[in-house]
Amino acid sequence: MSELNHECGVAAVYHLPTGEVSSLCPPQGPEEVSRLMPRMLLDIQNRGQLSAGMTSYNPNRLQLIDTYRELGMVNEAFRLNHRGKAESLMRGYAGRAAIGHVRYATCGADDCSYAQPFERHHLQKHKWFSFAFNGQLANYAQLRDKLLAEDDHHLARATDTEIIMHEISRELSGDRRLPLVDVMRHLATRFDGAYSLAMLNAQGQMLVARDPLGIKPMCYAIEGPLFAAASESVALVNLGFPADAVRSLGPGEAITISDGKIEVERFCDQPRRAHCFFEWIYFSNVASTLDERSVYLSRKTLGEELARLEVASTDENTVVVPVPDTSKAAADAMAFQLGVPSVEGLIRNRYSGRTFIEGSGDRVAKAAAKYTALPEVLAGKRVLLVEDSIVRSTTMRVLISKIREIGHAKEIHVRVACPPIVAPCFYGIDMSTIGELFAPKYYQSEKPSEEIFAEMAQEIGADSVRFLPVESIARAVGKPTDQLCQACITGDYPTPWGQRLYDVALENYEKSSEESAGRTYEAATGNT
């Protein structure tokens, strides 16, 4: 599903000054534990490939916290392919604590000033902080308009990250010295949306928090004096933490580190849960475990659901072909259940990047450059092409054309391990208008019929197309439906501002004005 723009990834690491040294600490010692950050960011590179950066804390330098950020992937940003330059960076930004970020832009421009972490300097150390953020505030426009209406305020960037920075600063203003968990407690009353964040200040205090609904993931682990957190568990397991020591931070919970102590506290009591189901079916690394559910096992179950619902006849000429790479687990499971081979009829150029993480441009040309069809595998075959989702259908059309014209397949039957996407996302996935989506023009609320499936197949050039029903998602993820955010496949949003923005998007769609209106959450006003 290379058409879907990613979210972002957040990481944090801290070696407490206890005198004890963790076995996972780098050879340079606890005061340079920040050297672990590029490795952690590499493991969540799947979440953002536009920019990477980190902030470190070192009480022995003039810049108590110092931030480095650059455009490009982690290898490029941290110059990991150039030993001398990478070593210079690691020495220059060495610290006993660090937060890091990989970004894809769901809001704001593609330039370095939008890269995270965001650092705010101040004369007072407790007001000098840096933070990294994954998610999106659905009430961005409301918060923006309120800020701009007060005094002589000005915002330099069109992004909710800057809004969060100013809202944190507001909590730290004056003579108050609030504990960081109380800062989050206050922010939660004003934020509507999805967020996981890591914050570090010039006193050496750290905060890691997850939104009250648990929309965005956050995992953490502790081994002796070493604490680490990341958007996905794989980044912690690959540092050397035992898998059973890695835990998911609970919705509405925050971890604070202050005066050498680690505490886990709840900052918001919200009985509802709304975990983003896309984390399991696409966004997260297949090796990760989120909220006690394996990403791999979820995708395997999706494939079994596809097999259970399969209606096409199979014979010795039938093959299952995954769209690389996130569809492979589902495709393999589907093929096993059907008793037919799963083959790599499409090869992805792993050096071409992800189509829409590269920014704007000719999407069709970029998609075409990414995949090669193998006629040796596909010629004369009835192909069950497994994809994890169809969002805009650009890539799918290119793939079908390649499989038919270059691969010489006899038939192509598209099987999608996700229900049709009929509504935008306002919580961190870059699909904010209805008009950009493939499915809504065929139907929105009612269940698709055989006639609708036939029309969809004809438009993308397939012999047939099938999607999973909504109820398959909860079974695959292993969570009750009422604990998942499925807004993009149901139109039912877990927050008031999400539902409000959907009403705006529907109105724009009916007026056919979405293209000129831009992203729904950027165009909406605080009075919507």
The closest alpha carbon to 260, from 204, 212, 303, 308, belongs to: 204
- Give the contacts of 59 (CB within 8 A, at least 6 positions apart): 96, 204
Pairing of strands 97-103, 51-57: antiparallel
Query: Residue 282 — left, alpha, or beta (φ > 0 → left; ψ -120 to 50 → alpha)?
Result: alpha
- Selected catalytic residue, list 8, 25, 268, 276: 8
- Give the contacts of 507 (CB within 8 A, at least 6 positions apart): none
Radius of gyration over alpha carbons of the chain, in Å? 23
Q: CA 95, 99, 103, 108 torsion: positive or negative? A: negative
Identify whether the C-beta of residue 44 lies closer than 8 Å to the C-beta of residue 431. Answer: no
- How many angstroms separate the Cα of 69 from the Cα of each of 66, 132, 407, 503? 10, 11, 43, 37
Tokens, residue 420:
């049709």
Tokens, residue 171:
């909590």
Identify whether the C-beta of residue 210 lies closer than 8 Å to the C-beta of residue 218. Answer: yes
Tokens, residue 526:
């605080």
Pairing of strands 484-485, 275-276: parallel
What span, in angstroms and rounded, lies between the C-alpha atoms of 203 and 198?
Answer: 15
- Give the contacts of 258 (CB within 8 A, at least 6 positions apart): 179, 180, 203, 205, 206
Between the CA atoms of 513, 515, 519 and 521, what dihedral angle is there, to the nearest 10 degrees?
Answer: 0
Residues facing 219 on adjacent strands: 230, 248
Active site annotation includes 8: yes
Give the catalytic positions in this structure: 8
